[in-house]
Amino acid sequence: MGPALTDDSPQLIAAYMAARQARFECRERTQIHVLKDKPDCIREMLKSNEPH
């Protein structure tokens, strides 16, 4: 087994920062995808609420 990682280990800090960055980018991509779909959803809702 390799050397124990302490809380201030450079490898641990680098891994933590990389994980945070990846999580942020993933969440941001998801939000962009949701926002791109919103206008279509709004149009569909407006169409379905129109009196026939």
pLDDT in the model for residue 5: 57
Domain boundaries, the chain: 22-52
pLDDT in the model for residue 2: 57
Ranges of the chain with pLDDT below 50: none
What global pTM score does this model have? 0.42
pLDDT in the model for residue 3: 59
pLDDT in the model for residue 33: 78
Question: Cα separation of 29 and 44, whole Å?
Answer: 24
Question: Cα separation of 37 and 40, whole Å?
Answer: 6
Residues 6+ apart with CB under 8 A from 6: 12
